[in-house]
C-alpha cells in the first residue's frame, strides 16, 4: 500500500537557537516531530529532556564544587532541578592559556581540553506522586573544528581593532572617579566594543559556516527510584556524534557546500509508543543520517537522509528511512524562513510493505 501525504503543516518548524557553523541542526520535522541530531551544547540536559530555566555556569573551582554539593541535601536525597554547565579545563587552567599557546599547531591537546564541556543535571520523576530522581552527566568533546573562532586571525584582528578604537577615543579614567561613574563608563565601553565588533563577528560567521568539524557528546543517566543517593541505578546512555566536511581546498564547494553525518544512540530509552498512543515503550534507538548543504550563510538548500532503528523491549522491529530536502533563508539576523519536504519510507512494524508519508513544513524563527 502506498500512502502519500502532502500537507502544509500548520505548526511552524521548531525554533532552535542558531548554532555554530559546524553545529547546524539536522531537523526532521516529519511525522513524529523533530529529530534533533546535532550534538547538544549540554548533553546532560538533553539526555533528561530538560530545558533548564536557570543553568549554573561556575566561573571558579569553588563555585563548581558548591554547585555539585547543592545537588544533594544533608539527608542524602538528590535535589532536583540542578543544571550545571562548565568547561572544566578552562575553569581550572584558563589563566595560563594564552591565545598564542592555544593557536600553536603543536597544542592540539590544549585546544581539545579547552573545548571540552561538561554538564550535570537532575530532574524529578514524571508523576505527582513519583519520588524518583534522574541524573545525567554529560560530556561534549570537539575533536576537530576548522571553524574555531579562536584560530580565525581575521576575526581576532578585527575584534582587537574595535577595542583599540574604543580605548583610544576615551579619556583615561582617574583614580579619583567614583565607583558608580567607573561602572557606568565600563558599561559604555562594553556597549561600544560590542557594536563595533558586530560586523567582525558577522563576517567571521560567513567565512566559517561550513568549516569541517567533528563533535562527540555522551551522557550516561541514572535513576534513583526513591530519590536517595543509596538507590541509584544506571538507566542508559545517550551518545551523539556529528562530523562535517567543508570541502576545504575544493574550488566553489569550499565556499558553498558542506557534507555532514550524524549518529545518535540511546539505550534503555523510555519513549512514547507510536503503535500505542498514550503509552510508553522502553527501547534502544539508533539514528544515523547524512545531509548535504549547498548555498551561502544566509541561503541554503539541503538534502538529507536518516535511518532510524528502534529495538523495542517487546521485540517489535521499528525501522525506517526518512528522506527530505529543504530550503532555509535568513530574513534578518536570527530569523529564518524554513521550508522542508520529506518522505518516510518502509516502517516495518506497520505491516505494510511500503509506506511513504510526506510532509511540508514552514516556519519563521531562530534557526
Partner 1 sequence: MPRTLSETVLEASKGQPTVEIIFGSAHVGNYRCFLWDPDGRNPEQLAHGNNIDDVPDSFVIPVDPADLDGHILSQELIVQAADTRPGQVYSVTTTVRQGGKICVGGVIQKSGSLDDVKSLIDFRRFRTA
Give the residues lining the site for partner 1 (CB under 8 A).
20, 41, 55, 57, 59-60, 85-87, 90-91, 94-103, 114, 148-150, 152-153, 155-157, 159-160, 162-164, 166-168, 170, 172-176, 182, 185-187, 189-190, 193-194, 197, 201
Q: Which is nearer to partner 1, 147 or 289 (CB)?
A: 147
For the CB of residue 176, give the shortest distance to partner 1 in the complex, in Å. 4
Asked if residue 43 lies in contact with residue 265, where contact means CB atoms within 8 angstroms, the answer is no
Q: Which is nearer to partner 1, 13 or 197 (CB)?
A: 197
For the CB of residue 312, give the shortest distance to partner 1 in the complex, in Å. 37
Helix intervals (H) in 179-224? 179-208
Q: Which is nearer to partner 1, 131 or 157 (CB)?
A: 157
For the CB of residue 168, give the shortest distance to partner 1 in the complex, in Å. 8
List, as own/partner pairs, every contact residues 68-77 make where C-beta atoms lie below 8 angstroms and the sequence separation is at least 24, other chains included: 68/120, 71/120, 71/122, 72/229, 76/228, 76/229, 76/230, 77/133, 77/227, 77/228, 77/229
Sequence-separated (6 or more) residues with CB below 8 Å from residue 160: none
Q: Which is nearer to partner 1, 37 or 162 (CB)?
A: 162
Q: Which is nearer to partner 1, 189 or 312 (CB)?
A: 189
Sequence-separated (6 or more) residues with CB below 8 Å from residue 14: 27, 29, 34, 363
Q: Which is nearer to partner 1, 94 or 126 (CB)?
A: 94
Cell of 78: 538528590
Half-sphere exposure of 286 (CA within 13 A, CB side): 6
For the CB of residue 228, give the shortest distance to partner 1 in the complex, in Å. 30
Q: Which is nearer to partner 1, 97 or 261 (CB)?
A: 97
For the CB of residue 298, give the shortest distance to partner 1 in the complex, in Å. 18
What are the DSSP calls for 123-170, one per residue? EE-SSTT---EEEEEEEEEEEEETT-GGG-HHHHHHHHHHHHHHHHTS
For the CB of residue 293, give the shortest distance to partner 1 in the complex, in Å. 21
Half-sphere exposure of 106 (CA within 13 A, CB side): 0
For the CB of residue 138, give the shortest distance to partner 1 in the complex, in Å. 14
Amino acid at each position: 500500500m502506498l500512502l502519500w501525504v502532502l500537507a502544509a503543516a500548520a505548526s511552524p518548524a521548531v525554533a532552535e537557537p542558531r548554532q555554530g557553523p559546524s553545529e547546524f541542526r539536522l531537523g526532521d520535522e516529519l511525522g513524529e516531530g523533530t529529530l534533533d541530531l546535532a550534538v547538544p551544547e549540554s548533553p546532560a540536559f538533553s539526555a533528561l529532556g530538560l530545558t533548564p530555566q536557570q543553568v549554573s555556569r561556575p566561573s571558579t573551582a569553588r563555585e563548581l564544587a558548591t554547585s555539585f554539593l547543592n545537588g544533594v541535601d544533608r539527608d542524602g536525597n538528590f535535589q532536583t532541578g540542578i543544571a550545571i554547565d562548565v568547561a572544566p579545563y578552562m575553569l581550572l587552567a584558563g589563566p595560563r592559556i594564552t591565545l598564542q599557546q592555544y593557536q600553536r599547531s603543536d597544542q592540539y591537546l590544549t585546544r581539545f581540553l579547552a573545548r571540552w564541556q561538561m554538564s550535570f543535571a537532575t530532574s524529578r520523576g514524571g508523576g505527582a506522586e513519583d519520588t524518583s530522581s534522574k541524573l545525567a552527566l554529560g560530556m561534549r568533546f570537539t575533536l576537530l573544528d576548522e571553524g574555531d573562532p579562536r584560530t580565525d586571525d581575521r576575526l581576532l584582528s578585527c575584534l582587537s581593532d574595535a577595542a583599540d578604537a574604543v580605548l583610544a577615543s576615551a579619556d583615561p579614567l582617574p583614580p579619583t572617579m567614583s565607583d558608580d561613574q567607573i561602572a557606568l563608563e565600563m558599561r559604555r565601553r562594553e556597549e561600544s566594543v560590542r557594536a563595533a565588533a558586530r560586523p567582525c563577528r558577522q563576517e567571521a560567521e560567513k567565512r566559517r559556516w561550513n568549516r569541517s568539524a567533528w563533535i562527540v557528546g555522551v551522557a550516561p543517566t541514572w535513576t534513583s527510584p526513591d530519590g536517595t543517593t543509596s538507590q541509584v541505578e544506571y538507566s542508559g546512555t545517550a551518545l551523539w556524534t556529528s562530523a562535517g566536511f567543508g570541502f576545504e581546498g575544493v574550488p566553489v564547494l569550499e565556499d558553498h557546500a558542506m557534507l555532514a553525518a550524524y549518529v545518535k544512540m540511546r539505550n534503555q530509552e523510555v519513549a512514547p509508543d507510536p503503535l500505542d498512543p498514550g503509552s510508553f515503550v522502553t527501547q534502544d534507538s539508533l539514528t544515523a543520517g547524512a545531509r548535504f548543504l549547498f548555498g551561502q550563510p544566509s541561503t541554503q538548500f539541503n538534502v538529507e537522509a536518516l535511518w532510524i532503528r528502534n529495538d523495542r523491549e517487546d521485540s517489535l522491529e521499528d525501522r525506517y528511512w526518512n528522506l527530505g530536502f529543504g530550503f532555509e533563508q535568513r530574513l534578518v539576523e536570527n530569523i529564518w524562513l524554513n521550508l522542508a519536504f520529506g518522505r518516510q519510507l518502509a516502517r516495518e512494524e506497520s505491516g505494510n510493505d511500503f509506506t511513504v508519508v510526506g510532509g511540508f513544513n514552514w516556519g519563521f524563527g531562530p534557526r
